[in-house]
Structure 1
Amino acid sequence: MKKLLFLFIFFPFILMGKSVWPLGEIWAEKNGESAYPNKTLHLSGTQQNKEAQAEKFVIAELQNFFPANTNLHADFFKIGPLGTYISYTQAFFGTSIYGTSVKINIDKNGNVNSIFYKLAETRNWPQKSFPAVADMERIKAETGDFIISNKNNTWFFDGEKAHAAFVAEYGANDGSKHEETVFAANDYSILYTIDKHRYAGGKDSMVRGNVFYPDPLTSSRKTYGAPYADTDDSDKPELNYERVPLEMKVTFEHDSFTLRNEYSQIAEISSPYTKHAFSNAPFFNYSRQDDRFEEVNATYHIYNYRQHVKKIGFDTLGKIPLKVDPHALNGADQSEFDFFQNDLKLLFGDGGIDDAEDADVVIHEYNHFLSFMASGDNGYGSDRLAIEEGLCDYFACSYSKNISNYNWQKVYNWDGNETWNGRSCVTGKNYKTDVSGNRYKDGEIWVGTLMEIQDEIGRDQTDAIMLGTLYFTAKNMTMPTAARIFIHVDSILYGGKNTLKIAQKFIANGLLPDTFMVSVPDKIKNEFAVKINAAYFSSHNIVYAEFDQPQTGIARIFDLQGKELISQDFYNTNKVNIYAPQITQGMYILHISANGIQKSAKLLK
């Protein structure tokens, strides 16, 4: 039985201002089996214990970056439906080194799938001392009169030497400011600044609300221009006619319905301050000139999108009542997801065309939130930011195209007029020749490729693979790396059945080398076939597996939080009856491992 081991170790150098850093990856796979020969990592105990175990593994793998007095500080821990994900920052003499990162991804069976890192070589760094207390007046002189949520000592490497420094994260609760600045500890000069915005209780009740579906140009199949124009948010009959009464879940309390459910809640965060929607009847009917129309529109599209996310198996991702202000940012022509002081919120501007009137804008910003919930604040590096914008444009395009294929190639069909032209989710750009360093322009490569993949394998599978990929993202990740992860997630969710079609699209757009195809036939070759019969899973907690030839291995069932519910061995047999314990309704994952090959299937109870 032929098995191939794919081991990719990259040591390119990237330029960030004056800073030159070793950036690398250890990425490997073996038909979904162990990432390295005999290199598995079975985490146990508390979260702190697991972080320490993974830290020890990483330092052993990357020991050249960890001389005496250099270690790691854990800053992100997540157990997702596909495995465990831990991120660290490198530390020198106990103080974090700004801009460094390590992320390790471990699957449910303890196989280390990948390690991504950006590390400093500290062997010749001198130890320096920090002032006992930072001079907050000097810091505020540079940051202005904003809330400082975090202030820490840090090391900052400028490519030539290490500076003792302070890093301050500051902003405003209304979303108008959220930045992070590094100050030199000796004279408080600014070494680096980054904008951290991510742009672009009662009884549940079902109600109807008039909304655009997904926007008035798509539903009317018209191009922008009178009478199908914003005209300062006016109530034109042609635009009001495009409102559609659709069903969504809200909260009923104190004899009235309010726009709150398990996924979103309308909030007043920044000006302009508007009157909020409520109704004594189970129907929200506002004309588009009424500010409450945007509240209903945003609430509906988030709720409707979440029904799709639930259907494809990711309902636990970001399942919180996220704050949404459909009229925010002082009327700016901008929208954003913001997480300042861990206060998570979506803010939509009114400049030009009201952003919350366009479902593309709502879904784009909401997926910034899902990305943050899956993998934390890792939006560093030009490629990583391009992936972020591209994946959010992809989900917006995928959502709208599922409603109507009219002019589906344009993202922001309604909002992308008057003050800007929107973007495209179809592109002829190639990663090898067309990368510009602009996150939005480069993001078109990612969204365009995903839409081509969707044409091959369908919306549900492409969306599910991309949501699964969110858990693996890391600081400074490149698009080629993301492409490999996307294929890896397909192997987890769908047994690699889409690998060939996915790889062809990534190769065509320069995201994978032409030589990748050499390995694909062996990677996707079914070394055994298995038929899963889950007809009695919902009623009797039984799953039947039938192989094309006798197999020896193990079958496991996990919930979407990664908790193993049952583990069952089988020996030299063509058929296995897998008995699950008493479990609640929901989505579960079946993993079958035999002779070094893994198969996965989703189970719905």
Structure 2
Amino acid sequence: MTNIKLSLRSVSLSVALVFSLNAFANKDKNTNELNESLTIGIEKSLPLTQGVDGLYRNDGVAAVISEPNFIISNKINGKTENNKNDFILIAKEYLRSNAAKFGLNQNAIENLALQFVRTDKEFSVVRFIQQVHNIPVYGSSIAVTVNNKGRVTFVASNTVTGNLEEHKVLLDSLTSFSQEQALKIALNYLRIEATKFTKANYVIFKDTQNNVHEAWHFKVIPAKGNGDWDILIDSAQGNILRAENKIRNYSATAKVYKTDPLSTVKLKYGDAGFADNIDNPKSSNSSQQPKDTPELSKARTLVTLPDVTFINNNYSLTSKYAVCDDFESPNDNACPVQTANLFDFDRTNKYFDAVNVFYHIDNYLRYVNETLNVSVMPYQYKGGVHYDPHGLGGDDNSHYSESSGKLAFGQGGVDDAEDLMVVIHELGHGIHDWLTHGNSENDAENGLGEGTGDYLAAGYVRDIPENLWKPTDPKYNWVMRWDGHNPFWPGRVSNWHIGRKYPQDVIHTGDNHASGQYWSSCNLVARDKIGGQAMDKVFLSGLSKTVESTNQVGAAQAIINAAKDLKYSNDQIKGIAYAYNTVCSYNVKIPITDPEE
């Protein structure tokens, strides 16, 4: 095997390519079983212990600091609120002063690489990653929140500890496997014949046994099938160190109207006129062909699309917030381009799904960015969110891809694109990813990502006047009311916290969708307490402070701390605390408003 000398300072590469090779795909395996069999080297989410100032790992290293009590008041005096360099300086100085708390020495602090600075009106989040000899350390995020008075108000950390510098000799040696060779190993392992997206980076990786490796880190989206793989290959030995499918998906079906067809008339799936195929209303066959009915047609609402594209005398579904894009199988060109400015299709027309998704993504991101004043858009590309209304090969599923930053919706059962709660749930995965710049959490124990999607979706539909369900109605708490709660799948609920406590009833479900219901339910209690817009704003602002290892308690602490940063009233903060600590069992620390601020 040929040895290749690496230029370690410039090994990061991002390319779009199609890479063909012979693979040994086991076509007969169930997709979930295949994902499970290929998953390797995933670190388990460990319990955190409440300390005086935050949450700590079992090795004594801080994971969340909710009361940093650190300020450099002469660096920001209120006149340089948008100077990112000031926030970076303060964040770095805080980490220098508290290096031991995060299991790092001063040399490690000085070698931190700036990843991203997110600036909001009242505070900024400065993100760093660790480096060793200018090589990034995999999974080593530190997010420091600094308010406009120069005070550090919150820190979330996933530091990789140990004396990584001891591996200097290894790092300076020749590697046995080039990037191209390592990619072949990765694709063979994943049974992938061709890719539509590949991104490569050279990293330092500390495995679950605390062994340190140099590795090729690939993000791979297969050209066929469903997946968004994050995989690491040992550059010296060529073995698989870690593999995880990071696709943001759920098993469901959907139809999209301004709300869902059932909520406008307070009926359930299967009632007269309200089924995917009225000839077989009790069928669970997700491959059956949908049929329209007078009732479903009447449920459509005429809405305004405030921003579309008009080029060469044609209107298309492209705005500053949403872009219809046919990038997944079945590649049926379901994005309409037409001379008329009225997009009027029944639900059996292939263009109907595209229009529904476009309306809800555009409407929701307009609400987040312009009403809430929380800036959030994809970092993977410029412009609106790309979505495919008919993706996943027509399967009964939908997903958000972290690598590409795009959404896709399946057509099995009720078309997923027809249920606004499915649309906003998947968009919620994207928002979570974009707020944290690629450092969102969604493991099977905490399900923060799934719960975030459900929270945003449930809050959105509750605010729509056409939704006639009231809090006293059981169906008020149904999530995916049209796509789920039917013969295809049972759906989820937004009052799952009742009779349950965190963590004992939440983190051992084995299903991030189930665990996430606690997170969504508790935050919806807070939303009812302080109001929709107030809670949505602080929820998203707090979420922006988190890293990939932040659990539900850490995220709850980030949110209630953000309420202080955003200068929420004591009553509002107490309302959030009531939801988190009385109705639910997060037991977060309640921040006290500083009179100086």
Specify if TM > 0.5.
Answer: yes
* 1:309-353 residue CA offsets vs partner (Å, 9 max, x unmatched): 35633264328321121011211222122242xx43211111222
Partner Cα separation in structure 2 for residue 395 and residue 376 of structure 1:
19
- Go from structure 1 to structure 2 and tell me whether the alpha carbon gap of 1:187 and 1:464 turns closer, same or farther (over 3 Å shift): same
1:434 is aligned, of 497, 502, 505, to 505
CA contact 2:385–2:406 (8 Å) conserved in 1: yes
Q: Structure 1 residues 499 and 174, CA, compared in 2 at 3 Å: closer, same or farther?
A: farther
Question: 2:330 aligned with 1:263, yes or no?
Answer: no
Q: Secondary structure at the match of 2:290?
A: coil
Between 462-471 and 490-499, report the one with greater CA deviation: 490-499
The aligned amino acid for 2:248 is R
- Offset at residue 77 of structure 1 (A): 2.2
**Mapping of 1:142-181 within 5 angstroms?**
142-143=186-187, 144=192, 145-146=194-195, 147-172=197-222, 176-181=226-231
Instruction: Report the aligned-residue RMSD.
Output: 3.1
Aligned to 1:228: 274
In structure 1, runs of 5+ residues without a counterpart are 1-5, 14-19, 30-34, 201-209, 525-594, 599-605
The Cα offsets for residues 243-301 of structure 1, whole Å up to 9 and x where unpaired, read as 12111122233233222222111111112222432343332110100010001111112
1:97 is paired with a residue whose SS is strand
Question: 1:421 is matched with which residue?
Answer: 490
User: Which moves more between the two structures, 277-286 or 36-45?
Assistant: 36-45
Q: Find the residue that maps to 2:70 and give its secondary structure.
A: coil
Q: Does 1:329 align with 2:379?
A: no
User: Kindly tell me: are residues 165 and 23 of structure 1, through their superposed partners in 2, closer, same or farther at Cα, counting changes over 3 Å?
Assistant: farther
User: 1:383-394, aligned counterparts within 5 Å?
Assistant: 386-394=447-455
Task: Give distance in 2, aligned partners of 1:90 and 1:41.
Answer: 25
Tell me: CA distance 1:332–1:252, structure 2 relative to 1, closer, same or farther (3 Å): same
User: How is 1:562-577 mapped onto 2 (pairs within 5 angstroms)?
Assistant: none
Given that 1:263 and 1:302 are in contact with CA atoms closer than 8 Å, whether structure 2 keeps it comes out as: yes
Corresponding residue for residue 447 of structure 1: 520
Give 2:115's aligned residue: 75
Equivalent in the alignment of 2:143: 103
- Pairwise CA distance, 1:505: 1.4
- Are positions 1:195 and 2:245 aligned together? yes
Indicate the percent of aligned positions where both proteins have the same amino acid.
22
Who is 2:181 aligned against?
Answer: 137
Write the distance in 2 (CA, Å) between the matches of 1:290 and 1:167: 42
SS in 2 for 1:395: helix
Query: Partner of 1:483 in structure 2?
Result: 556
Query: Size of the alignment, in residue pairs?
Result: 496
Q: Does 1:10 align with 2:10?
A: no
Pick one of 71, 85, 105 that aligns with 1:66: 105
Q: 1:49 offset after TM fit, Å? A: 8.2
Q: For residues 377 and 92 of structure 1, what CA distance do their matches in structure 2 show?
A: 21
The 8 Å contact of residues 429 and 449 in structure 2, kept in 1 or not, is answered as yes
Cα distance in 2 between the residues matched to 1:21 and 1:392: 32
Which residue is 1:303 aligned to?
Answer: 362
Q: Please give the secondary structure, in 2, of the residue aligned with 1:151.
A: strand
Task: Structure 2: give runs of 5+ residues left out of the alignment.
Answer: 1-50, 278-288, 470-474
Note if 1:248 corresponds to 2:305: yes
Mark the CA change 1:452 to 1:83 in structure 2 (over 3 Å): closer, same or farther: same
Give the one of 91, 94, 109 matched to 2:131. Answer: 91
Cα deviation code 1:124-154 (max 9, x no counterpart): 8443235346332343133233343113132
Deviations 1:32-51 (A, max 9, x none): xxx33668864999867864
Q: 1:418 to 1:59 in 2, by over 3 A?
A: farther
Structure 1 residue 509: Cα displacement:
4.5
Higher strand share: 1
CA shift in 2, pair 1:503/1:50, >3 Å: closer
Pick which of 358-367 and 502-511 moved more: 502-511
Matched to 1:272, the amino acid is P
Residue 503 in structure 1 maps to residue 586 in structure 2: no
Measured against aligned partners, the alpha-carbon deviations of 1:81-114 in whole angstroms (never above 9, x if no partner) come to 3322122222234333322221111112211112
- Structure 1 residue matching 2:125: 3-state secondary structure: strand
> Counterpart amino acid of 2:524?
M
The verdict on how the C-alpha distance between 1:44 and 1:469 changes in structure 2, with shifts beyond 3 A counting, is closer
After TM superposition, the structure 1 stretch with the greater mean CA deviation from structure 2, 372-381 or 302-311, is: 302-311
Q: 2:546 aligns with which of 473, 480, 484?
A: 473
Is the partner of 1:131 in helix, strand or coil? coil
Residue 349 (structure 2) aligns with: 290
Q: Radius of gyration: which is bigger?
A: 1
Which amino acid counterpart does residue 270 of structure 2 have in structure 1? G
The alignment's TM-score, normalised by the length of structure 1, stands at: 0.75
Return the structure number with greater relative CO, CA threshold 8 A, min gap 6.
2
**What SS class does the counterpart of residue 536 from structure 2 fall into?**
helix
Deviations 1:172-230 (A, max 9, x none): 47783321112223322112112222224xxxxxxxxx962211122232111163111
Q: Matched residues in 1 for 2:390 and 2:442: separation?
A: 31
Partners of 1:41 and 1:165 lie apart in 2 by 39
Matched residues in 2 for 1:103 and 1:277: separation?
Answer: 42
**C-alpha distance in structure 1 between counterparts of 2:160 and 2:427, whole Å:** 34
- The aligned residue for residue 280 of structure 2 is none
Q: What does 1:33-52 align with in structure 2 at a 5 Å threshold?
A: 35-36=69-70, 42=76, 51=88
